[in-house]
Amino acid sequence: MENKDLLQSVTEKAQVWLGNGYDEETRSEVKRMLDADDKTELIESFYKDLEFGTGGLRGIMGAGTNRMNIYTVGAATQGLANYLKEAFAELPEISVVVGHDVRNNSRKFAEIVADIFSANGIKVYLFESFRPTPELSFAIRHLGCQSGVNITASHNPKEYNGYKAYWADGAQIIAPHDVNIIDNVNKIKGVEAIKFNGDKSKIQIIGKEIDDAFLSAIKGLSLSPDAIKRHHDLKIVYTPIHGTGVKLVPESLKNYGFTNIIHVPEQDIPSGDFPTVESPNPENPPAMAMAIAKAKEVNADLVMASDPDADRIGCVIRDAKGEYQLINGNQIVMILLNYLMTRNAELGKLTGNEYIVKTIVTTETIKSIADANNIKMFDCYTGFKWIAAVIRDHEGTSRYLGGGEESYGFLAEDFARDKDSVSAISLMAEIAAWAKDKNMDFLQMLQDIYMKYGFSKEEGISVVRLGKSGAEEIVAMMKGFRANPPKQLGGSSVVTIKDYADLNLTDLTTGKVEKMDMPTTSNVLQYFTADGTKVSIRPSGTEPKIKFYIEVKGHLDSAADYDRANADAKAKIDAVKKDLGI
């Protein structure tokens, strides 16, 4: 049991929620927790306040300061509204876009957000129903708004919901705005400070007109329309896994010219309960099981999925034996960036002023591809707000070709500033047609990349630690890795350590320490070995887990050697995991 001071603190916080400013349902729920003999739920619900992380506000739905509910959503919105009125005081009218996904309570939270903004004199464009996250980002830019909010918990389990705040450029909020918003939220000392009574005259419903503009812009990304004409009847299985992708992804594929899009009918049904999957995360094989079964039934060429808010992409290809295999996020980003760089070169569109972006935990093979094509590559922190920051820094001076991260996110455009499965899925289908023109399937194309630029294999491991005690354990684990870094990983000596908490890069062979050029510090550790192995360690900014990213290098001389290269790399990854104690 937690110590007496903590229990007293959470009890005092919880008793405030018994006041008349809170609705009856909330008061009843808080009273139940206060009266329970086991205070664990009370502590978990009140021991801290939800904070903005890499993905904004995210948490389990329920009563309490550490839960997603109308009051925590309300305080965040009131704080954001207050800050917008400071930051854009010179404008005659401030405007925002509000969107949401299919989750339970998402529409309710979105309408409350719209009411609070409007009550503060801010013009609101509210989507008529659920929409993909990237469309919200697009709409902010398209409508010339100063901010936006999307109610979503992305691919989290059904118990979660979240709140993503965006700035005028369509990107998720970073410093100094994130800190300033939190400061404004913290100034709200009671529920009475939140203006819940909306001004309906300031709320405008939007929908199809934004859909059409967004889809038109995505169609403009196509680089191989002739290949699609030749292979328009590729069998493409697509599932939105009960999410928002059902609104736009099939339509975008049709816009590109594909005529044989095969649905998974049970998963086309939008539902915050995600009834056909345990977790609606397309990077997990079980979430793709129904789509793969459909693919086997129809002998599909390609299987793709989006997560509930349709910003992440999942992809399944056929192996040499004809079996359907899920490719990882690193491979998805690598395939997309390789295509965009190679195809732009084929079309004579490269001027020497193009660039790509990846996150520091994403495969280093991408840098090899960029170097070979004389294209600048930027590394940034995990989270698409950092990719968007690189795009903002190069606005009007260099051409963005694409960017992505290992966690199944990709952005092929600069007219939106968050990862986008609508464009990524459309382009992956186009790549399949382009590859077919070259007498290659997806596997052969992937093998070709590895033979040209070097073989790599990656694995991500998430160690989950729930609640307050779990958070403390994650802190202790990071301290341990800093105090006692491994001397070798997988049989190869660690030669470089990058610690983004103090931006120190340490060369262990010379003892030299130099500063890294990054926009801010971050709680991330990286180890590099003599044989090219890279290990990255970071606590998640949105979930109760610590993440390990392992990448090992190998050699692939021929397609026939692919299985051997994979087996050797897997053995090395297992050795690295053992050295890390995970």
pLDDT 10s digits, 105-157: 999 999 999 999 999 999 999 999 999 999 999 999 999 999 999 999 998 89
Active site residue 154: yes
Statement: residue 11 has pLDDT above 70 = yes
The amino acid at 169: D
- Tell me the average pLDDT across 271-293: 96
d(C-alpha 61, C-alpha 26), whole Å: 12
**pLDDT of 1 over the 60 cut:** no
Choices 3.40.640.10, 3.40.630.30, 2.60.40.10, 3.40.120.10: CATH for 214-453: 3.40.120.10
Q: How far apart are CA 520 and CA 191, in angstroms?
A: 33
- Within this chain, domains 68-206 and 214-453 share the same CATH topology: yes
pTM value is: 0.95
For residues 262-287, average pLDDT: 96
Compute the average pLDDT of residues 266-276.
98
Name the residue with tokens 């909330």: 26
Which 8-state DSSP code applies to residue 274?
-
Q: Does residue 544 carry a pLDDT above 90?
A: no
Strand-pair partners of 68 = 61
Yes or no: say if 501 and 521 are a contact pair by the CB < 8 Å rule.
Answer: yes
**Phi and psi for 26 in degrees, rounded to 5?**
-65, -45
CA distance 251 to 548: 37
At 360-404, the pLDDT tens digits run: 999 999 999 999 999 999 999 998 999 999 999 999 999 999 999
Per-residue model confidence (pLDDT) at position 542: 65
Q: Please list the residues that pair with 527 across neighbouring strands.
A: 497, 535
Strand duo 203-206 + 160-167: pairing: unpaired
Q: Please report the pLDDT score of residue 47 as a whole number.
A: 92
Average pLDDT over residues 295-305: 97
Residue 50 pLDDT:
82
**508 φ, ψ (degrees, to nearest 5):** -70, -20
Residue 576 is which amino acid? V
Q: Give the chain's mean pLDDT.
A: 95
Contact 153, 160 (CB under 8 A): yes
Choosing from 154, 407, 426, 492, the catalytic residue is: 154
Per-residue tokens: 120? 């503060």
| Mean pLDDT, range 408-426, rounded to an integer | 98
Contact 14, 33 (CB under 8 A): yes
- Return the pLDDT at 67: 96
For the segment 218-245, the average pLDDT, to the nearest whole number, is 98
Tell me the backbone φ, ψ of residue 166, rounded to 5 degrees.
Answer: -125, 155
3-state SS of 47-64 is: CCCCCCECCEEEEEECCC
Contacts of 364 (CB under 8 A, 6+ apart): 456, 532, 534, 551
pLDDT tens for each residue of 57-116: 889 999 999 999 999 999 999 999 999 999 999 999 999 999 999 999 999 999 999 999
Give the span between the Cα atoms of 86 and 93, in whole angstroms. 12
pLDDT band of 579, cuts 50, 70, 90 = very high
Nearest to 580 by CA among 540, 525, 542: 525
C-alpha–C-alpha distance, residues 146 and 148, integer Å: 7
Burial level of 90, CB count in 10 A (0-12/13-18/19+)? exposed
Helices (H), 264-376: 289-298, 329-346, 365-372
Inter-residue contact 579 to 491 (CB < 8 Å): no
Q: What is the pLDDT of residues 451-478, one digit of tens each?
A: 999 999 999 999 999 888 888 999 999 9
Element (H, E) at 162: strand 160-167
Decide the pairing of beta strands 203-206 and 123-127: parallel
- What are the tokens at 309? 């808010």
- Confidence label for 263 from pLDDT (cuts 50, 70 and 90): very high
User: At 251, is the pLDDT very low, low, confident or very high (cuts 50, 70, 90)?
Assistant: very high
Look at phi and psi of residue 144 and say left if phi exceeds 0, alpha if psi is from -120 to 50, else beta. Answer: left
CA dihedral 182, 184, 188, 193 (to 10 degrees): -130
With beta carbons less than 8 A apart as the criterion, state whether 227 and 437 touch: yes
Report the side by side order of strands in the sheet with 95-100.
Answer: 57-60, 160-167, 147-151, 95-100, 123-127, 203-206
Nearby residues of 321 by Cβ (< 8 Å), 6 or more positions away: none
Domain ranges across the chain:
1-47, 68-206, 214-453, 455-580
Cα 289 from Cα 392, distance rounded (Å): 39
| Cα–Cα distance for residue pair 280/235, rounded to 1 Å | 23
3-state SS assignment for residue 278: coil
**What pLDDT is attached to residue 185?**
85
Please report, rounded to a whole number, the percentage of residues in the chain having pLDDT higher than 90: 91
* pLDDT at residue 19 tops 80: yes
pLDDT band at 52 (very low <50, low <70, confident <90, very high): low
Question: What pLDDT is stored for residue 297 in this prediction?
Answer: 98
In the chain, DSSP finds a helix count (H) and a strand count (E) of 18, 23
Q: What are the pLDDT digits (tens) for 326-343?
A: 999 999 999 999 999 999
CA dihedral 514, 520, 521, 527 (to 10 degrees): -50
pLDDT band at 189 (very low <50, low <70, confident <90, very high): confident
Whole-angstrom distance, CA of residue 408 vs CA of residue 411: 10
pLDDT score, position 55: 57
- 455-580: what fold? TATA-Binding Protein (3.30.310)
CATH code, residues 68-206: 3.40.120.10
